[in-house]
Structure 1
Amino acid sequence: MAPPGDPRRLCRLVQEGRLRALQEELEVAGGYQRPEMAGVFQRPAGDTLLHCAARHGRQDILAYLVEAWKMDIEATNRDYKRPLHEAASMGHRDCVRYLLGRGAVVDSLKKADWTPLMMACTRKNLEVIQDLVAHGANPLLKNKDGWNSFHIASREGDPVILRYLLTVCPDAWKTESKIRRTPLHTAAMHGCFEVVQELLDRCHYEPDCRDSCGVTPFMDAVQCGHVSIAKLLLEKHKACSSAADTLGAQALHQAAVTGQDEAIRFLVCDLGVDVDVRAESTQLTALHYAAKEGQTSTVQTLLSLGADINSKDGRNRSALHLACAGQHVACTRFLLQSGLKDSADLTGTLAQQLTRSVDLLQDFSHRAES
């Protein structure tokens, strides 16, 4: 049986909300009140019992620890999280309000410069966000990656929270991360259709705004398979379907890399994008990209849309070369069965690569069977 004051047992009592049992345990273990007791019951992560109470929404225990044992509400763990970070991140409004009422620092920073408001914006809990803002939380503060609270809320996809943040801080949308990604990029990538609508209606992002890699929100939507958002950006934001990133790759190429067959059909069949269009710097086609990543289904889709199986990139490599180089056995076999005209592709080093790929596959199969 664990001795009185055992940290694991104390944390378990807090998690289970057993206030009376916790009181008895602490009285036996301590027997007197002193501020330094805050450090006695730390877990390996550096959490105090206050962190544990705040994380699990035990407001009565939180109050008991602060008022009876004088535990420090600004105690930090090894990630510099304070109890307010924990309560905000889990959406425990009672704990948030209690800590704020006791004077907790509203814009305290944890590791990577996250504030409690940023943590709250990872949850769809408008009331907690409102409480923090009412106590002076600043939505414009940025973490180490350059994201503010509005940017984080855009990723989570709750338009009600975005409207609120725009109401209390109308310029919150005018933000870019350190790699120049906007909330519109983030919402498009994560498939947050209603948020994208809200951003297009209320904010003023430039059409085809680019991050540091030259990627636009339209490209983000396409490469993640969010066709409805891609259509919305075309209709309401006049996005360009043929825009290229810093490497000269277009949305079609990016969709081939991630294997988004529906998006590829949309680009080629509905928008008329050339299925064999080349990335400017590498001269790779979408078929090359798909083969390089071993996206067999996408290779099949591209060929069904008329992609040239024998086209070569700027280094005279075919899709088969790239599939073999990546040791993508299924993709290599499919390309071989799809009417290649140049059988010389399988000579020399390429043949060795293919043989190695097959050997690896067979070895894996034997191991799986045994």
Structure 2
Amino acid sequence: MSFKRETPLANAVFWAARKGNLALLQLLLNSGRVDADCRDSYGTTALMVASYSGHNDCVKELIMHGADINYQRETGSTALFFAAQQGHHDAAKLLFEFGASTEFQTKDGGTALTVASQYGHSKVVDILLKNGANVHDQLNDGATPLFLAAQEGHVTVIRQLLSSGAKVNQAREDGTAPLWMAAQMGHNEVAKVLLLRGADRDADRHDGSTALFKAALKGHSGVIEELLKFSPSLGLLKNGSSALHAAVMGGNLRTILLLLGANADPMLPNKNNELPADLTKSERILKLLHPQMINGDS
């Protein structure tokens, strides 16, 4: 966290808040020569710095001297946002005791809950939800706390959010659902949890790709194993290709074997009339596909 300090006294207050030097902070605040809400040119306050650093004594001292708990810096961030971002659950609790709000947003739509979910701070997520945080918060691009947790692979947070009513199929503006993102990132445990909680196995993005297609392209066999338990589509997708085409392009033998074992059709052409075998020069992959192609011909 960076900030520009405007005066020597403000500089000292910020330093004390960042380092957790309560004695110096008390001395400065009691002097009457510096405001508890002194700010830098970005609007950063000492309370934000103390919350970011997790120094609870300093947080409380600043609040007792009248620091504005819900003040937003230039980016829209508040003290609670910074405590949530860094996983300081005790600081978050303290801020709530003195009236912190979960409703303030950053310029990109971020809230304390979205950032805590993104970084996997489950204790903070629990505190936020118990204090009225909206599980349906969205960034400007439509990403929800559940989406962000799925992207980063935070299974515990995902379970918390789903138990609090998060919509498992809520997609980002580009059509990307949490399951699709988990598949892209290779988070098979996340995929498992989402599927068991009703995620649409065949939900596609605006580009027509599904979670299975993306996992096949990336070679994430663990995710594919979870998806295949729910019988996803192995045929042509809206993008004019199949998961097997994607697996062959990705070049992962395990992925190809999984799809063939699930009866993916190697004789199914894509929109360009190409068979999966037309998309590779690997002899090992062709040997996997050829027996299936012979069976298909017969």
Q: Same fold (TM over 0.5)?
A: yes
Q: Shift of the alpha carbon at 1:81?
A: 1.7
Conservation of the 8 A alpha-carbon contact between 1:223 and 1:254: yes
Q: 1:1-370 counterparts in 2 under 5 A?
A: 39-41=6-8, 48-68=11-31, 70-169=33-132, 172-203=134-165, 205-235=166-196, 237-268=197-228, 270-275=229-234, 277-280=235-238, 282-286=239-243, 289=246, 295-296=250-251, 298=252, 300-305=253-258, 306=260, 313-315=270-272, 335=282, 338-339=285-286
Q: Shift of the alpha carbon at 1:72?
A: 3.7
Q: Which runs of 5+ in 1 are unaligned?
A: 1-37, 323-331, 341-370
Counterpart in the other structure of 1:25 = none
Q: Deviations over 1:290-325 (max 9, x none)?
A: 676xx54x3x23333337778764346677998xxx
Conservation of the 8 A alpha-carbon contact between 1:222 and 1:255: yes
2:138 partner SS: coil
- Would the alpha carbon gap of residues 158 and 178 (structure 1) be closer, same or farther in structure 2, given more than 3 Å must change? same
Q: Shift of the alpha carbon at 1:212?
A: 0.9
Q: Shift of the alpha carbon at 1:261?
A: 2.5
Partner Cα distance (1:167, 1:339) in 2 = 55
Conservation of the 8 A alpha-carbon contact between 2:76 and 2:104: no
- Would the alpha carbon gap of residues 291 and 55 (structure 1) be closer, same or farther in structure 2, given more than 3 Å must change? farther
Q: Which amino acid aligns with 1:221?
A: A
Partner Cα distance (1:289, 1:92) in 2 = 50
Q: Which amino acid aligns with 1:109?
A: Q
Conservation of the 8 A alpha-carbon contact between 2:168 and 2:198: yes
Partner Cα distance (2:244, 2:40) in 1 = 50
- Would the alpha carbon gap of residues 257 and 112 (structure 1) be closer, same or farther in structure 2, given more than 3 Å must change? farther
Q: Deviations over 1:73-109 (max 9, x none)?
A: 3333354322111111111101111111111111121
TM-score, normalisation: structure 1: 0.65
Partner Cα distance (1:87, 1:62) in 2 = 11
Partner Cα distance (1:278, 1:272) in 2 = 14
Identical-pair percentage: 25
Q: Shift of the alpha carbon at 1:41?
A: 4.3
2:282 partner SS: helix
- Would the alpha carbon gap of residues 54 and 243 (structure 1) be closer, same or farther in structure 2, given more than 3 Å must change? same
- Would the alpha carbon gap of residues 320 and 83 (structure 1) be closer, same or farther in structure 2, given more than 3 Å must change? farther
Partner Cα distance (1:162, 1:147) in 2 = 14
Partner Cα distance (1:193, 1:76) in 2 = 38
Q: Shift of the alpha carbon at 1:287?
A: 5.3
Q: Which amino acid aligns with 2:82?
A: M
Q: Shift of the alpha carbon at 1:196?
A: 1.9
1:54 partner SS: helix
Conservation of the 8 A alpha-carbon contact between 1:303 and 1:309: no
- Would the alpha carbon gap of residues 288 and 66 (structure 1) be closer, same or farther in structure 2, given more than 3 Å must change? farther
Q: Shift of the alpha carbon at 1:117?
A: 0.5
- Would the alpha carbon gap of residues 161 and 257 (structure 1) be closer, same or farther in structure 2, given more than 3 Å must change? same
Conservation of the 8 A alpha-carbon contact between 2:219 and 2:255: no
Q: Shift of the alpha carbon at 1:289?
A: 4.6
Q: Deviations over 1:93-151 (max 9, x none)?
A: 01111111111111121232111101111133222112212222111111112122222
Partner Cα distance (1:208, 1:131) in 2 = 34
Q: Which amino acid aligns with 2:257?
A: S
Q: Deviations over 1:264-289 (max 9, x none)?
A: 23323x333355x4441x32334555
Q: Which runs of 5+ in 2 are unaligned?
A: 288-298
- Would the alpha carbon gap of residues 259 and 81 (structure 1) be closer, same or farther in structure 2, given more than 3 Å must change? farther
Partner Cα distance (1:283, 1:221) in 2 = 22
Q: Deviations over 1:134-187 (max 9, x none)?
A: 222111111112122222222233444333323322x62232222222222222
Q: Which amino acid aligns with 2:206?
A: T
Q: Shift of the alpha carbon at 1:257?
A: 4.5
- Would the alpha carbon gap of residues 315 and 79 (structure 1) be closer, same or farther in structure 2, given more than 3 Å must change? farther
- Would the alpha carbon gap of residues 338 and 72 (structure 1) be closer, same or farther in structure 2, given more than 3 Å must change? same
Conservation of the 8 A alpha-carbon contact between 2:179 and 2:194: yes
Partner Cα distance (1:199, 1:72) in 2 = 39
Counterpart in the other structure of 1:360 = none
Partner Cα distance (1:185, 1:232) in 2 = 13
